[in-house]
Amino acid sequence: MISAQPALSPIERPTLSAQVARHLLALINNEQLRPGDAVPSEVKIGLDLQVSRGSVREAYRTLAALGILEIEGGRKPRLRLIDASVLAQVFDYALNTAQVSLAHVLETRRAIELQTAQLAARYATEEQRQRLRELAAQMRDALRDPVRRVQCDSAIHHLIAAASGNPLNSLLLGALGTPVEASARMHLAETRSEAELQRVIDAHDAVVERICAGDPMGAQSAMSYHFDLALVQVQRQRPDIST
pLDDT at 82: 85
> Residue 58's pLDDT band (boundaries 50, 70, 90)?
very high
Share of the chain above pLDDT 70, in %: 84
With contact defined as beta carbons under 8 Å apart, do 40 and 27 qualify?
A: yes
Same domain for 207 and 119 = yes
pLDDT at 180: 64
SS (H, E, C) the chain: CCCCCCCCCCCCCCCHHHHHHHHHHHHHHHCCCCCCCECCCHHHHHHHHCCCHHHHHHHHHHHHHCCCEECCCCCCCEECCCCCHHHHHHHHHHHHCCCCCHHHHHHHHHHHHHHHHHHHHHHCCHHHHHHHHHHHHHHHHCCCCHHHHHHHHHHHHHHHHHHCCCHHHHHHHHHCHHHHHHHHHHHCCCCCCHHHHHHHHHHHHHHHHHHHCCCHHHHHHHHHHHHHHHHHHHHHHCCCCCC
Same domain for 159 and 184 = yes
Residue 7 lies in a domain: no
pLDDT at 2: 37
Tally of domains within the chain: 2
Q: What is the CATH number of the domain that holds 43?
A: 1.10.10.10
What's the predicted TM-score (pTM) here?
A: 0.75
> Residue 90's pLDDT band (boundaries 50, 70, 90)?
confident
Same domain for 133 and 22 = no
pLDDT at 10: 45
- Last residue in a domain, options 79, 101, 127: 79
Same domain for 183 and 73 = no
How confident is the model over 125-183, as pLDDT tens digits?
Answer: 999 999 999 999 999 999 888 889 889 998 999 999 999 999 999 999 888 877 666 65
Residue 187 lies in a domain: yes
Residue 11 lies in a domain: no
Q: What is the CATH number of the domain that holds 150?
A: 1.20.120.530
Q: Mean pLDDT, to the nearest integer, of 56-60?
A: 93
Q: Mean pLDDT, to the nearest integer, of 216-224?
A: 97
Same domain for 96 and 67 = no
